[in-house]
Amino acid sequence: MSKQRFKAILESQKRPIIEVKEEGRRSDFFAKNVFNEDKMIQYLTKDALNSVKGAVFSGSKIDRKIADQVAEAMKAWAISIGATHYTHWFQPLTGATAEKHDAFFDLLPDGKALEKFGGGQLVQQEPDASSFPSGGIRNTFEARGYTAWDPTSPAFVYDTTLCIPTIFVSYTGEALDNKAPLLRALNSIDEAATAVARYFDKNVSKVNATLGWEQEYFLIDKALAHSRPDINMTGRTLIGNAAAKGQQLDDHYFGVIPQRAIGFMKDLEKECTLLGIPVKTRHNEVAPNQFELAPVYEEANLAVDHNLLLMDVMEKVADKHHFKVLFHEKPFAGINGSGKHNNWSLATDTGVNLLSPGSTPMKNLQFLTFFINTIKAVDTYEELLRSSIASASNDHRLGANEAPPAILSIFIGEQLGNVLDELEGVSQGKLSPEEKTELKLNVVGKIPEILLDNTDRNRTSPFAFTGNKFEMRGVGAKTNCAKPMTVLNTIVSKQLRAFKKEVDALIDTKNLKKDEAVFNVLREYIKTSKRIRFDGDGYSDAWQKEAKRRKLSNNKNCPQALRVLTASKTIALFKATKVMSETEIRARQEVELEAYILHVQIESRLFGELVYGYVLPATITYQNKLIKNVTGLKDIFGAAHRPLAGGQLSLIEQMAEHIATLKKMIDAMGDARKKANKISDTHKKAVSYCENVLPYFHTIRQHCDSLEKLVDDSVWPLTKYRELLFIK
Determine the interface stretch with ligand ADP among 115-123, 294-302, 479-487, 511-519 (rule: CB under 6 A): 294-302
Which is it for the CA torsion 496, 502, 506, 508, positive or negative? positive
Least distance (Å) between residue 339 CB and Mg ion: 9
CA-to-CA separations, 420 to 53, 296, 345, 540, 716, in angstroms, rounded: 40, 30, 20, 25, 60
| Count of CB atoms situated within 10 Å of the CB of 242 | 17
Main-chain phi, psi angles of 85, to 5 degrees: -130, 165
Residue among 214 and 592 whose Cβ is closer to Mg ion? 214
Segment contacting ligand ADP (CB under 6 A): 12-20, 96-104, 221-229, 291-299? 291-299
Bridge partners (DSSP) of residue 345 are 210
The whole-angstrom separation of Cα 400 and Cα 402 is 6
> CB–CB of 411/465 below 8 Å?
yes
Rounded CA gap, 529 and 353, in Å?
23
Minimum CB separation of residue 558 from ligand ADP in Å reads 25
- Which of ligand ADP, Mg ion, none lies near 348, with the C-beta cut-off 5 to 8 A by kind? none
Which residues 207-266 are close enough to bind Mg ion by CB under 5 A?
214
Q: Closest approach of Cβ 278 to ligand ADP, in Å?
A: 8
Q: Of residues 260, 266, 328, 341, which one binds Mg ion by CB under 5 A?
A: 341
Going by the DSSP 8-state scheme, the letter that residue 59 receives in this structure is -
Number of shown-chain residues binding Mg ion (CB under 5 A): 2
DSSP state of 282: E
Question: Hey, how many other C-beta atoms are within 10 angstroms of the C-beta on 369?
Answer: 24
Instruction: Count the Cβ atoms, other than its own, within 10 Å of residue 619.
Output: 24
Q: From the list 366, 380, 391, 466, which residue makes contact with ligand ADP (rule: CB under 6 A)? A: 466
- Residue 238 near residue 606 (C-beta atoms within 8 A): yes
- Minimum distance from CB of 499 to ligand ADP (Å)? 21
Which of positions 187-246 make contact with ligand ADP (CB under 6 A)? 210-212, 214
Smaller CB separation from ligand ADP, 310 or 333: 310
Tell me how far, at minimum, the Cβ of 408 lies from ligand ADP, in Å: 18
Closest distance to Mg ion from the beta carbon of 177 (Å): 27
Closer CB to Mg ion, 410 or 518, in the complex: 410
User: Maximum Cα–Cα distance for the chain, whole Å?
Assistant: 106
- Helix extents (H) in 326-406: 361-380, 382-387
Q: Of ligand ADP, Mg ion, none, which one does residue 297 interact with (CB within 5 to 8 Å by kind)?
A: ligand ADP
Partner that binds at residue 294, options Mg ion, ligand ADP, none, CB closer than 5 to 8 Å by kind: ligand ADP
- Nearest CB to ligand ADP, comparing residues 211 and 517: 211
The values of phi and psi at residue 284, to 5°, are -70, 150
> Is the CB of 353 or the CB of 581 nearer to ligand ADP?
353
Shorter beta-carbon distance to ligand ADP: residue 43 or 297: 297
243 in Cβ contact with 720 (< 8 Å): yes
| Minimum CB distance to Mg ion smaller for 39 or for 341 | 341
Q: Would you say 74 and 156 are in contact if contact means Cβ atoms under 8 Å apart? A: no
469 belongs to the binding site for Mg ion (CB under 5 A): no
Residue 340 found at the interface with Mg ion (CB under 5 A): no
Does 677 help bind ligand ADP (rule: CB under 6 A)? no
Q: How far is the CB of 471 from Mg ion (least distance, A)?
A: 5
Min dist CB 258 to ligand ADP, Å, is 21
What residue 640 binds from ligand ADP, Mg ion, none (CB within 5 to 8 A, per partner kind)?
A: none
Considering only residues 308 to 367 of the shown chain, the ones binding ligand ADP according to CB under 6 A are 341, 343-345, 353
Task: Determine the Cα–Cα distance for residues 633 and 640; give it in Å rounded to an integer.
Answer: 9
What is the 8-class DSSP label of residue 692? I
Contact 653, 627 (CB under 8 A): no
Interface size with ligand ADP, residues (CB under 6 A): 15
User: Apex CA 368: angle with CA 465 and CA 444, to 5°?
Assistant: 115
Which is closer to ligand ADP, CB of 344 or CB of 574?
344
Out of 10, 81, 103, 296, name the contact with ligand ADP by CB under 6 A. 296
3-class secondary structure, 101: strand
Count Cα atoms within 13 angstroms, Cβ side, for 131: 3
The site partner of 599 among Mg ion, ligand ADP, none (C-beta below 5 to 8 Å per kind) is: none
Our CB check for ligand ADP shows the closer of 472 and 655 to be 472
For residue 319, what are the β-bridge partners?
none
Task: Sketch the per residue contact string, 277 through 306, with Mg ion: x for CB under 5 A, - otherwise.
Answer: ------------------------------
Q: Are 144 and 129 in contact (CB under 8 A)?
A: yes
As beta bridge partners, residue 170 has: 145
Choice between 339 and 717, CB closer to ligand ADP: 339
Q: Out of ligand ADP, Mg ion, none, which partner does residue 211 contact, by CB within 5 to 8 A per kind?
A: ligand ADP
Asked whether position 462 contacts ligand ADP by CB under 6 A, the answer is no
Classified as helix, coil or strand, 218 is strand
Q: Residue 399 — left, alpha, or beta (φ > 0 → left; ψ -120 to 50 → alpha)?
A: left
Answer positive or negative: Cα dihedral of 122, 126, 131, 133. positive
Within 8 A by CB and 6+ apart from 187, the residues are 59
Site string for ligand ADP, 469-508 (x = CB under 6 A): x---------------------------------------
Report, in this order, helix, strand and coil percent for the chain, each rounded to 5: 55, 15, 35
The rounded radius of gyration (Å) of the Cα atoms in the chain is 29
Q: Which of 186, 294, 407, 416 binds ligand ADP (CB under 6 A)?
A: 294
Q: Taking CB within 5 to 8 Å according to partner kind, which of Mg ion, ligand ADP, none is near residue 94?
A: none
| Interaction partner, residue 344 (ligand ADP, Mg ion, none; CB < 5-8 Å by kind) | ligand ADP
Q: How far is the CB of 341 from ligand ADP (least distance, A)?
A: 6
In degrees rounded to 5, what are phi and psi of residue 676?
Answer: -65, -40
Name the residues that contact Mg ion, by CB under 5 A: 214, 341
List of residues contacting ligand ADP (CB under 6 A): 210-212, 214, 294, 296-297, 341, 343-345, 353, 466, 468-469
